[in-house]
């Protein structure tokens, strides 16, 4: 798509949209034209993007996205505080919640170990994790089954086990290299059931 | 396995071409630089989603275009299979019977081929990397999970290398190295097992071929050396210790010194390393035996012969080896594509001839 053929503001909109994950130049163009033809949708979208950006913060305990600190999970009386599930990103919390199988608390790492990208334990929420282990009996590693996810799970297991916590890894009915986010609910539920000791 | 037709669009010097191929021997002939090798490369890419010559698909795209498309009709076990490989806007799309494949490993190996060109003579005299590549390409074609195993292993290697090169403190390097090593061991052991299994199978068939080609006078042997050791069990059990012993050195040299990414497949001729002692003629016989071994192994696993692609090979072989090869092809009815520059060298018997000129192919009757 040749952006020079469009007026500047339209070209800017298209290239902003094209920067979003999963959206190529063609789709970006379609979305931009749609938004211009539907002014109300465009207005509402713009508002909610700004509002979400302003209101959503990271929970100071678990690092999940929230509009109140601590987040609803961390405040809840109904969640099982003996179980802690570690995930890479906030979107993985949503994927696990959809299964309705898990009743414990979450901890969002904000990524995985990746020396190539300069990401070590300090760049992740490992310190926060170590500070919230009181009363936790089992920590479940639910990182994606990539080599980086595995390395991170092993790293944390080595850190946590000496502290007397049981560490398990969700069984991968998930395809290797696959993302939690894209797995269906049944697959995730089964993976949770069949977790193994690390 | 049979290829019935191949269609090329903007691949190398082909703009738009489609040809039908026949069972048996198909000869592509023409002057230098007309597109004979490109045609075989196209077919090989269509089967494996990769080129053996280049890493970047852009180089395969006809100059000035932004992508290419290859389509072929094949026959495997009496069933018609359509393969399509398309490269467009830096993305590769692979389809079997019009169904897109999500992973390369779902696609590779649907139809098999063995490719042989004079460049393969480097297998004997070149470095270990060439021989590892030879093993890996073969396993990828016959074991569906191997591509992702290899990719994962390489990813771990890259991460470990990055860690060794980082300017983190010695202590944090060590604590993180432990987990990458653990993965290196787990994936590395599987890699070694696959390669050793293949080597053993290949040893049996290839040494048989070599014995015949050398008229019973010489003996070929191949041995995989896991982690530089002789024995599989030993390598598997000492892998963790070797890594620990070499940690200091790895940190100092910022390189991953232990693992199957450094293994070699040693080829012996009459009990001596062929890399050091084999003559030119012996090198040709060795590589021919390895390639025919591959053909035979694919036949054993898939219960059908793969396609055989011989690029400029006939002119490289002396009369005896040439005759041996052609007899093998005829007696096993292997569909073969052969390139050559002059029509005079053509083998006798029933052959189909195709004249290649400037990215166009004409069947000659
Ligand atoms: N991406 C490309 N676009 C257009 N032409 C290309 C491209 N890549 C290579 N070529 C051309 O293809 C030709 C080489 O074709 P090929 O290697 O198939 O020759 P050949 O027929 O096998 O010759 P030889 O007998 O010398 O081996 C060269 O003329 C080269 O310039
Ligand atoms: Mg050539
Ligand atoms: Zn929280």
Which residue segments constitute the domains of chain B, with CATH numbers given?
1-112+306-365 (3.40.50.300), 120-302 (1.20.1050.90)
Task: For residue range A105-162, list pLDDT tens digits in order.
Answer: 999 999 999 999 999 999 999 999 999 999 999 999 999 889 999 999 999 999 999 9
- The rounded percent of chain B whose pLDDT value lies above 70 is 100
Give start-end residues of each CATH 3.40.1360.10 domain in chain A. Answer: 65-197
Q: Quick check: B232 pLDDT over 90?
A: yes
CA distance A73 to B223: 58
Q: How far is the CA of B6 from the centre of ligand 1 (A)?
A: 18
Write out chain A residues lying below 8 Å of B175, CB-based.
Answer: 155, 158
Task: For residue range B1-25, list pLDDT tens digits in order.
Answer: 999 999 999 999 999 999 999 999 9
Task: For residue range B60-106, list pLDDT tens digits in order.
Answer: 999 999 999 999 999 999 999 999 999 987 889 999 999 999 888 88
pLDDT for A155 equals 96
Residue in B156, B159, B179 nearest the CB of A155:
B179
Q: Quick check: B281 pLDDT over 60?
A: yes
pLDDT for B130 equals 94
Torsion angle, CA of B222/B227/B228/B229, rounded to 10 degrees?
A: -80
Which of the 8 DSSP states describes residue A4? G
Q: What is the mean pLDDT of residues B30-46?
A: 96
Distance from CA of B160 to the nearest CA of A (A): 7
- The rounded percent of chain A whose pLDDT value lies above 70 is 88
Name the pairing type of β-strands A57-58 and A65-66. Answer: antiparallel
pLDDT for B150 equals 93
Task: For residue range A62-74, list pLDDT tens digits in order.
Answer: 999 999 999 999 9
Q: Quick check: B127 pLDDT over 60?
A: yes
pLDDT for B314 equals 86
- Two tokens, residue A15: 């290239």
Q: What is the CATH number of domain A3-55?
A: 1.10.8.420
Distance from CA of B102 to the nearest CA of A (A): 11
Q: What is the mean pLDDT of residues B21-43?
A: 96
Q: Quick check: B303 pLDDT over 80?
A: yes
Give start-end residues of each CATH 1.10.8.420 domain in chain A. Answer: 3-55
- The rounded percent of chain A whose pLDDT value lies above 90 is 74
Cβ-Cβ pairs closer than 8 A, A with B, add up to: 51
The class (CATH top level) of A65-197 is alpha beta
Long-range pairs, B357-363, Cβ under 8 A, ≥24: B357/B30, B357/B31, B357/B34, B358/B13, B358/B34, B358/B35, B359/B12, B359/B13, B359/B14, B359/B15, B359/B17, B359/B34, B359/B35, B359/B38, B360/B14, B360/B17, B360/B35, B361/B17, B361/B19, B361/B28, B361/B35, B361/B39, B363/B19, B363/B20
pLDDT for B55 equals 80
pLDDT for A176 equals 44
Chain A residues with at least one Cβ partner in B under 8 Å: 24, 113-116, 118, 120-121, 146-148, 150-152, 154-155, 158, 176-177
Kindly give, in sequence order, each residue whose CB lies less than 8 Å from that of residue B194, ignoring residues fewer than 6 positions away.
B139, B143, B146, B149
Q: Of B27, B23, B9, B128, which is closest to residue B65 (Cα–Cα)?
A: B9
Ligand 3 ion: residues within 5 Å (CB): A 59, 61-62, 70-71, 74
Mean pLDDT (chain B) is 94
- In 10 A of CB A44, how many CB atoms? 11
Name the pairing type of β-strands B307-311 and B336-340. Answer: parallel
Task: For residue range A156-189, list pLDDT tens digits in order.
Answer: 999 999 999 999 988 765 444 445 555 566 666 6
The residue among B155, B188, B190 with the most chain A CBs within 10 A of its CB, best to mutate, is: B155
The residue among A27, A116, A122, A182 with the most chain B CBs within 10 A of its CB, best to mutate, is: A116
Q: Classify residue B211 as exposed, middle or buried by CB count within 10 Å of its CB (0-12, 13-18, 19+).
A: middle
């Amino acid at each position: 798509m040749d952006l020079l053929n469009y007026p500047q503001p339209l070209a800017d909109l298209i290239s902003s949209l094209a920067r979003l994950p999963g959206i190529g130049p063609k789709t970006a163009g379609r979305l931009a034209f749609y938004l211009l033809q539907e002014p109300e949708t465009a207005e509402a979208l713009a508002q909610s993007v700004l509002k979400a950006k302003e209101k959503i913060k990271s929970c100071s305990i678990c690092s999940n996205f929230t509009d109140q600190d601590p987040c609803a999970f961390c405040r809840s009386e109904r969640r099982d505080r003996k179980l802690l599930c570690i995930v890479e990103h906030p979107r993985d919390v949503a994927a696990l919640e959809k299964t309705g199988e898990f009743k414990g608390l979450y901890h969002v790492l904000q990524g995985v170990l990746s020396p190539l990208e300069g990401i070590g334990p300090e760049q992740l929420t490992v310190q926060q994790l170590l500070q919230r282990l009181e009363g936790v009996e089992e920590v479940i590693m639910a990182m994606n089954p990539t080599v980086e996810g595995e390395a991170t799970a092993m790293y944390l297991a080595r850190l946590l086990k000496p502290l007397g916590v049981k560490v398990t890894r969700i069984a991968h009915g998930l395809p290797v290299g696959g993302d939690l986010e894209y797995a269906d609910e049944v697959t995730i539920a089964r993976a949770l059931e069949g977790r193994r000791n690390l | 396995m049979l290829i019935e037709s191949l269609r090329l669009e903007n691949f190398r010097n082909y703009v738009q071409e489609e040809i039908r191929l026949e069972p048996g021997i198909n000869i592509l002939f023409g002057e230098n630089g007309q597109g004979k090798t490109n045609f075989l490369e196209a077919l090989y890419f269509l089967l494996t989603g990769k080129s053996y010559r280049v890493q970047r698909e852009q180089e395969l795209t006809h100059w000035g275009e932004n992508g290419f498309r290859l389509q072929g009709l094949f026959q495997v076990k009496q069933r018609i299979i359509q393969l399509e490989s398309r490269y467009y806007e830096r993305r590769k799309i692979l389809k079997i019977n019009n169904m897109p494949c999500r992973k390369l490993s779902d696609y590779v190996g649907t139809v098999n081929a063995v490719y042989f060109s004079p460049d393969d003579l480097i297998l004997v005299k070149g470095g270990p990397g060439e021989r590892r590549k030879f093993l890996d390409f073969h396993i990828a074609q016959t074991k569906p999970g191997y591509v992702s195993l290899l990719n994962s292993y390489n990813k771990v290697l890259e991460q470990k290398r990055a860690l060794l090169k980082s300017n983190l403190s010695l202590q944090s390097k060590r604590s993180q190295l432990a987990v990458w090593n653990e993965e290196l061991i787990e994936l590395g052991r599987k890699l070694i097992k696959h390669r050793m299994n293949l080597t053993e199978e290949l040893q049996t068939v290839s040494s048989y071929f070599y014995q015949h080609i050398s008229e019973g006078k010489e003996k070929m042997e191949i041995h995989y050396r896991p982690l530089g050791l002789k024995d599989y069990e030993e390598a598997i059990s000492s892998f963790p210790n070797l890594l620990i012993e070499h940690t200091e050195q790895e940190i100092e040299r910022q390189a991953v010194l232990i693992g199957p990414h450094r293994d070699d497949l040693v080829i012996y001729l009459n009990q001596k390393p062929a890399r050091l002692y084999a003559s030119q003629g012996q090198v040709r016989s060795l590589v021919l035996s390895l390639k025919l071994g591959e053909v035979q192994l694919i036949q054993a696993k898939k219960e059908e012969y793969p396609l055989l692609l011989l690029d400029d090979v006939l002119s490289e072989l002396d009369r005896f080896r040439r005759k041996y090869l052609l007899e093998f092809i005829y007696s096993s009815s292997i569909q073969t594509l052969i390139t050559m520059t002059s029509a005079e060298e053509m083998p006798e018997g029933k052959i189909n001839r195709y004249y290649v000129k400037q990215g166009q192919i004409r069947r000659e009757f």
